[in-house]
Amino acid sequence: MRVRVRSLESERINFVLEDVDLALANALRRILIADLPTMAIDIVNIEENSSVLVDEFIAHRLGMVPLISTACDKLINYNRDCVCLDHCPKCSVELELNIKCTTPETVLVTSNHLQIKGQVANDTSGNLIDPPIGLPDNFGLPINYHQEGAYPITLCKLRQGQELRINCIAKKGINKEHAKWGPTSAVAFEYDPYNKLKHTHYWFEQDERAEWPLSANATEEAPPDDSPIGLNAEPRTFYFDVEATGALEPKDMILLAFAELQNKLAGIVLALDQPTDQEGYMDNNNLVEGMEPSSTAADQVDDWGVGATQGGFDWT
Amino acid sequence: MLEDEDVDVKPKITESDDWTTPGNFHGKSLTDEVKTVEDKWQLLPAFLKTRGLVKQHIDSYNHFVDVELKNIIKANEKVTSDVDPKFYLKYTDIHVGNPERQDADSVDKSITPHEARLRDMTYSAPIRISVEYTRGKQIVRRRGIPIGRLPVMLRSNKCILSGKDEETLARYRECPLDPGGYFVVKGTEKVILVQEQLSKNRMIIETDPKKNVQASVTSSTHERKSKSYVATKNGKIYLRHNSIGDDVPIVVALKAMGVTSDKEILQLVAGHDDEYKEVFYINIEEALRMGIHTEMQALEWIGARSKSARRAVGPAHQKRPVWEDAIETLSTIVLAHVPVENLNFRPKAIYVAVMVRRVLMAMVDEKMLDDRDYVGNKRLELAGQLLSLLFEDLFKKFNHDLKLNIDKVLKKPNRTTEFDAYTQLLYGGDHITSGFVRAISTGNWSLKRFKMERAGVTHVLSRLSYISALGMMTRISSQFEKTRKVSGPRALQPSQWGMLCPSDTPEGEACGLVKNLALMTHITTDVEEEPIVNICYMLGVEDVCLLTGTELYRRDTYIVSLNGNLIGVTRHPLKFVTQFRKLRRNGFINEFVSVYINHHHNSVNISSDGGRICRPMIIVENSFSKVTSEHIKMLKAGKIDFDAFLTQGLVEYLDVNEENDAYIAISENDITETSTHLEIEPFTLLGACAGLIPYPHHNQSPRNTYQCAMGKQAIGAIAYNQLNRIDTLLYLMVYPQQPMVKTKTIELIGYDKLPAGQNAMVAVMSYSGYDIEDALILNKASLDRGFGRCQVMRKYSTMIRKYPNGTHDRLADAPIGLDGVIPKKYQALEPDGIAGAGERVDTNDVIVNKQSPSNALDNSINPGQADSSTYKNAPMSYKSPVPGFVDQVLITDTESEQTLVKALLRQTRRPELGDKFSSRHGQKGVCGLIVPQADMPFNDRGITPDVIMNPHGFPSRMTVGKMIELLSGKAGVIRGTLEYGTAFGGSKVDDMSQVLIDNGYSYAGKETMTSGITGECHTFYTYLGPIYYQKLKHMVLDKMHARARGPRAVLTRQPTEGRSRDGGLRLGEMERDALLGYGAAHLVRERLMLSSDLFHVDVCNDCGTMGYNTFCPMCKSQKNISNIQIPYAAKLLFQELLAMNIYPKISLEDAV
């Protein structure tokens, strides 16, 4: 496997993945979309909201703000796994939004008005929890936070006299749970720009080439010639174009994705290696509901008259 | 220019074009086509700016308030007394004041409609009259006496909102896009729908069910409304009217009207057409046979049979001769709209003769029958007319009561003070006020006086979406009964082109009977007749009374009639009509007066009555449009407005009848030498609802109809004041978007400012099998990000009452439980006993903790002494199964000085499985599956669709417009422009394809996508792009229902019915049949009895009646008692039968 980065920008990475299976490339893509942990506002406590937007509306908007989540995979716990009582610096970031419009002009409330709040929390045994070491300074801040030339994210508009007093708790999570925890906005992925493998069928009126424009990735490959393509030919080169929300650095994202993939594979390997009589997972008696436990798995015949061994439950 | 017209516009002309180049003048070369009027559609926004979408309602109401009221007063101006002949009271003037609030203690009386909405009040203004009456020997004049209150139509000229700018409207908490045209009565917004009916005072020739030809006229004047017929029976012609017992042979009728010579009758009726004479002779014979030769004989004959006049003669008077009754009947009741002045029956006789002639023509040639469904024969009755009828009725009642009261006082011989009728006037009570309020809030127009009995005239303005409110204002309901299975009135009429929307009609029973106005229509109000008559005579019309039948029916003679009344004849109809129109175009005649020639009837008809639909058109003279680009430029610059086009004679209004006289070119290219008019824009033939559809001209027509119905259910923004409103039910979309592909109509009606939908990235492909039967697949990440998210607000309101016995309800704070904690149920409450804004409430949580006195209805207690120590809880609690939040709380007083508490509860909902969505092409579907983003297919740019739609939705529906919408939308997204899908125009597919090609896409909008699950390229291509999707109000959350055990009806002990009562699901007859057929007898028994209304009863085997406690009260014994199971309903039946002296015996056998 080879990764060749073609371009790297602050919120975008374009690379070629070579010498890998389609399955692996797609797994990487899926992980990039769904499995990378980031920080996002998850709990919003509204003390005062006299804006025109209702509480849920503002909470939803706050949740969608990408927060800088560098290194949150290692240094931050999932809130559900954390030792603390409610939330603590090890599993969350607290932000607040306190703003009141006092001028006749409308105030535009943006992600720039969010401020990080220090938090003090104890664990179950009453010890003070220290903040994790090694987090970057801007950890948990919204993207483009007070940056020249970059636009913050509009949250709301306030008229004279209207006020927002909001306390937010950002937690770690993954996109599978909610899209706000996704570090990517679009993951493009392409192989075989010339369609040499005939995976797809281009419908055309007169001329295929004229009617179906080639993608930019076609420059990377030789145009199809008359040489035959083997029956077993498989795609081996994949052109990725990943657009990030800004929560994670594009480079980190790719590295993390690979790590996550390894993790997942390791999980499967571990699970496959486990003995049958271990609790839960591999015990075939528990796999099929309502099946009478019996002394030998091989004796079992299920409702369809198929032995359990053939049914594929006996993993030993 | 926003959009390419269908008309060929050669190179666009810009200021920078080099016209100094030879052969290039102002960007034009000699070979270029003659320049067309660009942007003539700009007239449309100008039209809507001056007229507005619901101008017809407002105009009609204004006409009522400004003109009709005065006419009614004038017609009923005098109140006299039977007791004192010297007394009189005369109304001299009437006017309607400004809307006022009625609170006694208010300093500022002015009221906004929004206050009326919130406080459940009526937005009404006082009606003030000026009177002149006698007090003893004096004549007293008084002004400004209030006699009642008139509900004010919003945005009418009595409404405070009329002519206000956006800022002022915002201060009044009113939406500038709200069209007005409705009333606020007891806090609800009520619309008086436009009613369609046959035109009044016009002859309609038709056949009765027995195929006999008859001519009918519905006469309608201020004094009287009646229907007269000239009907045929056995080939003979009769005059028929309700007030005459028998059908009057037509010759008798004519003789009674003073046409005594048979020859003259024949001439008047048949002219010199031998054919008609032939058919008519039999009638003359009949009169001969009856022995009626003279006018007197005819009058005696009719008088003996007339019904109505008899009653009017009081017992004190001498009995009137019979023939006078006949004169009375003929002059004022039969054909009441034809005036009989000084007993000059000539006009009426001629009118009858013309009717007879039309009948004869139809008898000879059935092509001469009229078409009832022709839009030109219809009149639309608007709020103003209905209110004016109502007021007339109420006012007459008011006068009647007043007279009775005055008589009562004057009857008393000795009075301490001189009688002043003013007090009686003030005493009148709120008869008029309550009459208006009752009629508008119930919709029952029952005016016995005018033989009017109509229900369902008013409707609650639907505020589901902006479009539904707007659609309601343009709706027209027909008087035709829905149950009759006739297709004629329901069918699309060619004459409704441009007047009524061809797409917007409901499906089902009201199909074709409920219609909608097209975009650029106007409904006329009455215009004074007299000046028009004068103009006609000046234009050379000869008075009809001076003519005999020979002149009347000459081939070259055209009868001129005004509003159905014959006023004269002309030999030069074309010249007359041309001159008439010239006068109208120059503003000497009202612009809404129409004139046309009917060559079949040899007549020129002028109409100035109200209720005609008309629309503006550009005048074409000598093959050139009178509106030129220069005019449009001035219009764009704001130098002139639409009215200037009218006054300058560039544009004129044509009604349906006059349209038949015009030769209208649809586009400028179509203008020929004979063209008289040019359409302003063809897309205006659609209404407001159909105008939302992009590319409707590419769709199968029923799809457009479906969308018209569905657009009204779409959730979106409803008005700028939506968050200030407390409506029973309010659906709002969290992130509404204006459509990528819009239409000019969308911009004109403001749908882009108050949209109801979102632009979804749609992939047309099959996915997973959960998309069959129009189901949609939604992307979970899209839902996370806010796609289809909506808020549902529901009003919970309660009254804190004061009771007549002096007790009153109270609000209590939350009780504290035994453990010292406020129970969960009461936790949302604040100390005032009402839930605080922003609090979360769960099912059954208390929102308003009201307590009522237990002796509230006990009137034996004196006020003030009421023992108010005992109160019982009457809390208002939250009903929905899903938690909600208190959005706002309103505490206020109503008109009846009761305290009103309204709480608005809000839920925010994200789409879930089973929620209903629809595109703008009548393609609805429910969400079948929500898929994680990673599993979604994606294209080479990493775009995953928001919605996947199954391609099977296309072939049978043929909604090509949807495909073009996608294409235009995609091009627009790429290019960063909003595209147009205006009907008969819009962005062209070729252009859109070019944009796609230029940006590296397939020209057809198709893309190859990759499976998100396997990573493999799809073998097929996918149609991918944005389509505007609406979320419809039908959501699973509001419909889901299941029950195991639950409440039962008291009487039958069977499970209750319906979701709202947590009812059971009925196992109906068909289901029962299926189970029986299958042989599942025990299942039937279980469903029908055990799980329903099982009852154990003791039955006496001796007498067969039911007993109790193993005892039979009939036999007074405990012997032979068996306990059996029967449905409770059966037990009930037996008892009911017993109660009516039927003795059902239950005889039992041993069970095997």
**A241/B781 Cβ within 8 A:** no
Q: What is the mean pLDDT of residues B435-450?
A: 87
pLDDT score for B412: 79
Q: Is residue B876 scored above 70 in pLDDT?
A: yes
CA–CA separation, A110 and B432 (whole Å):
57
Q: Which residues of B touch A253 (CB under 8 A)?
A: none
**Mean local confidence (pLDDT), B473-479:** 87
Half-sphere exposure of B224 (CA within 13 A, CB side): 16
What gap in Å lies between CA B69 and CA B73, rounded to an integer?
Answer: 6
Does the CB of A54 have a partner CB in chain B at under 8 Å?
yes
Tokens 């809390």 correspond to B875
For the segment B710-769, what is each residue's pLDDT rounded down to a tens digit? 999 999 999 999 999 999 999 999 999 999 999 999 988 889 999 999 999 999 999 989
Report CB contact under 8 Å: A242, B942.
yes
pLDDT greater than 60 at residue B26: no
B947–chain A nearest CA distance, Å: 16
CB-CB contact of A59 with B838 (8 Å): no
A242-256: pLDDT as tens digits? 999 989 999 999 999
Q: Which pLDDT band, with edges at 50, 70 and 90, does A168 fall under?
A: very high
At B501, is the pLDDT very low, low, confident or very high (cuts 50, 70, 90)?
Answer: very high
In B, minimum Cα distance to A55 occurs at B838
**Percent of chain A at pLDDT above 70?**
86
**pLDDT value at residue B1049:** 93
Q: Is A96's Cβ below 8 Å from some Cβ in B?
A: no
Q: Dump pLDDT digits (tens) for B1091-1110.
A: 999 999 999 998 899 998 98
Q: Using beta carbons and an 8 Å cutoff, which residues of B are at the interface with A?
A: 723, 734, 780-782, 784-786, 789, 791, 838, 885, 887, 906, 908, 932-934, 938-944, 997, 1000-1004, 1006, 1008, 1010, 1012, 1014-1021
Q: What is the pLDDT of residue B961?
A: 93
What is the percent of chain B where pLDDT is above 70?
A: 93
> CA angle, B107 as apex, B104 and B113 as ends, to 5°?
80
What's residue B2's pLDDT? 44
Range of lowest pLDDT (B143-157, B285-299, B822-836): B285-299
Read off the pLDDT of residues B189-227 as tens digits, 9 standing for 90 and up: 999 999 888 888 888 888 888 888 888 888 887 777 788
Superfamily of domain B789-856+868-906: RNA polymerase II, Rpb2 subunit, wall domain (2.40.50.150)
Residue of A176, A202, A213 with shortest CB distance to B1001: A213
Task: Kindly tell me the burial class for residue B20, based on how many C-beta atoms sit within 10 Å of its own C-beta (0-12, 13-18, 19 or more).
Answer: exposed
- CATH class of the region B520-683: alpha beta
Question: Which of B373, B388, B377, B387 is CA-nearest to residue B613?
Answer: B377
Pairing of strands B565-570, B558-562: antiparallel
Q: Which one of A53, A57, A261 would you mutate to disrupt binding with B, by most B Cβ within 10 Å of its Cβ?
A: A57
Cα separation, B334 vs B330, in Å, equals 5
- pTM for the model stands at 0.86
Q: Choose the closest CB to A186 out of B780, B943, B1014.
A: B943
Sheet with B729-733, side-by-side order of all strands: B729-733, B790-800, B899-909, B884-893, B840-841
Contacts with A34 from chain B: Cβ below 8 Å:
932-934
pLDDT at B21: 47
Least confident of B48-52, B323-327, B924-928, B1136-1140: B48-52
Closest CA relative to residue B640, chosen from B1070, B49, B1139, B150: B49
| Poorest-pLDDT segment among B777-781, B1012-1016, B1125-1129, B1148-1152 | B1148-1152
- Domain borders along chain B are 48-195+379-458, 200-335, 520-683, 711-788+910-1034, 789-856+868-906, 1057-1138
Task: Give yes or no for residue B5 having a pLDDT over 50.
Answer: no
Using a CB–CB cutoff of 8 Å, tell me whether A186 touches chain B. Answer: yes
- The b-or-e profile of B650-675 (16+ CB within 10 A means b, else e) is bbbbbbbbbbebbebbebbeebeeeb
- Collect all residues of chain B within an 8 Å Cβ-Cβ radius of residue A46: 838
B432: pLDDT strictly greater than 50: yes
Mutant choice from B792, B933, B1024 vs A, greatest count of A C-beta within 10 A: B933
The pLDDT assigned to B328 comes to 81
Q: Chain B within 8 Å of A191 (Cβ-Cβ)? A: yes
Task: Tally the C-alpha atoms within 13 A of residue B850's C-alpha that lie toward its C-beta.
Answer: 21
Q: What is the pLDDT of residue A227?
A: 78
Strand order in the sheet with A2-9: A2-9, A12-18, A237-244, A184-190
The SS3 assignment for B392 reads helix
Helix or strand holding residue B629 (H, E): helix B629-636
CATH 3.90.1100.10 fits B48-195+379-458, yes or no: yes
Q: Which of A29, A52, A178 sits opposite B1015 (nearest CB)?
A: A29
Candidate list B727, B774, B842, B1038, residue with the active-site label: B774
Q: What is the pLDDT at residue B183?
A: 93
Is some CB atom of chain B closer than 8 A to the CB atom of A46?
yes
Does the pLDDT of residue A284 top 70, yes or no? no
Q: What is the pLDDT of residue A296?
A: 43
Q: Which residue of A has its CA nearest to B839?
A: A55
A/B interface, count of CB pairs below 8 Å: 107
Distance to chain A for B799, nearest Cα, Å: 27
Residue B19: pLDDT band (50, 70, 90) is very low
A22·B1014 Cβ contact <8 A = yes
What CATH number does domain B1057-1138 carry, 3.30.70.141, 3.30.559.10, 3.90.1800.10, 3.40.50.10800?
3.90.1800.10
Contacts of A179 in chain B (CB under 8 A): 780-782, 784-785, 933
Residue A303 has pLDDT above 80, yes or no: no
Q: Domain spanning B200-335 has what CATH number?
A: 3.90.1110.10
The percent of residues above 90 in pLDDT, for chain B, comes to 37
pLDDT on residue A277: 56
CA–CA separation, B797 vs A310, rounded Å? 66
Q: At residue B20, does pLDDT exceed 50? A: no
Question: Given CB atoms, is A233 within the 8 Å cutoff of chain B?
Answer: no
Residue A279: pLDDT band with limits 50, 70, 90: low
Which of A139-143, A203-207, B966-970 is the most confident on average? Answer: B966-970
Q: Domain B711-788+910-1034 maps to which CATH number in 3.10.20.30, 2.60.40.1180, 3.40.50.1370, 2.40.270.10?
A: 2.40.270.10
Nearest CA in chain B to A26: B1015
**Taking CB atoms and an 8 Å limit, are B934 and A178 in contact across chains?**
no
CA separation for the pair A201, A208 (Å, rounded): 10
Contacts made by residues B991-998, CB under 8 angstroms, sequence distance 24+:
B991/B4, B992/B964, B992/B967, B992/B968, B993/B967, B995/B971, B996/B967, B996/B970, B996/B971, B997/A213
The larger pLDDT score, comparing residue B237 to residue A228, is at B237
- Sketch out chain A's domains with CATH numbers: 2-34+184-272 (3.30.1360.10), 39-174 (2.170.120.12)
* pLDDT range class, residue A275, cuts 50, 70, 90: low
Mean pLDDT of all residues in B118-125: 91
Residue A14: pLDDT over 70:
yes
B941, A49: Cβ pair inside 8 Å?
no
d(C-alpha B432, C-alpha B390), whole Å: 9
Give me the residue label for tokens 């409610």.
A86
Rg of chain B, C-alpha, whole Å: 36
CB–CB contact B1008 A30 (8 Å):
no
Task: Calculate the average pLDDT of chain B.
Answer: 86
Based on the residue annotation, tell me whether B774 is a catalytic residue of this protein.
yes
Residues in B closer than 8 angstroms to A203, CB to CB, are 1006, 1021
Give the pLDDT confidence of A184-229 residue by residue, as tens digits. Answer: 999 998 888 888 888 888 888 888 877 888 888 888 888 888 777 7
Q: What is the predicted pLDDT for the residue at A32?
A: 93
Q: Are B529 and B608 in contact (CB under 8 A)?
A: yes
